[in-house]
Amino acid sequence: MTSDSLTRAFALLLKRDLVLAVRHRAEMINPLLFFVLVTSLFPLGIGADPKLLQAVGPGVIWVAALLAALLSLEGIFRSDFEDGTLEQFLLSSHPVSVLVLAKVLAHWLITGLPLLVISPLLGVLLGLPGDAIIILLVTLALGTPVLSLIGAVGVALTVGLRKGGMILSLLVLPLYVPLLIFAASAVDTAAAGLPVTAHLSLISALLVLALSLSPLATAAALRISLS
């Protein structure tokens, strides 16, 4: 087994998932709509005072991003589980963790990247200053892959279950807490005009940690769920 064929398997899998996503556009658009909708509910719920909105804005956008990611997570493995493709992965001669990484990357491109693109609009809606919006983009760029990576472990553990969705949120949301804290406070700090390098390096550390450990945990979890 050469590394060349592994790269090809990775690229093929990525391409396949992206093509599938383009064919089922609703799965891409629904989390995005949810993200926008939840964020725009907050001014209606707490009042449209610009100062108040600016104060809660970073937290609101990040919580909405967590929930939108949670909504789309099941899509990572669900259809492949139902049509038996997942079992083929486990039987293939390639390391499962690399295949998992391809699927997570595809999932992030399909659901994480759109959040990133639309988020400046939400920042403007909640009255965040320009600097804060840039930092919001950076935290989402670093943070949404972490959401997909950690989420993949949770989905792998619950993929065969009938009521997996409820349990998935219970498994995954507590693990999102550190990211939420660091990211929302980075945007907050940027809005106050202070430097945020410490925050960003902490989020990057989370990304590196998730990138190195979560595919292994996901692969192990898939083996157990499908046994």
Please report, for residues 28, 39, 41, 61, 180, the alpha-carbon distance to residue 35 in angstroms, rounded to integers and kept in the order given.
Answer: 12, 6, 10, 8, 15
Nearer to other proteins, 84 or 174 (CB): 174
Residues in 204-223 at the binding interface with other proteins, rule: CB under 8 A: 206, 209, 213, 217, 220-221
Q: Per-residue string for binding with other proteins, 151-190, x by CB under 8 A?
A: --x---xx-xx-xx--x--xx-xxx-xx--xx--x-----
Short-list 102, 197, 200, CA closest to 148: 102
The CA distance from 183 to 177, in Å, is 10
- How far does CA 105 lie from the centroid of its chain? 10
| CA 104 from centre of chain | 9
Binding mask 122-151 for other proteins (x = CB under 8 A): ----------------------------x-
Give the C-alpha separation, 36 to 126, whole Å. 11
**To the nearest whole angstrom, how small is the minimum distance from the Cβ of residue 56 to other proteins?**
13
Question: Smallest distance, Å, CB 46 to other proteins?
Answer: 18
Contact residues for other proteins, defined by CB under 8 A = 150, 153, 157-158, 160-161, 163-164, 167, 170-171, 173-175, 177-178, 181-182, 185, 206, 209, 213, 217, 220-221, 224-225, 227
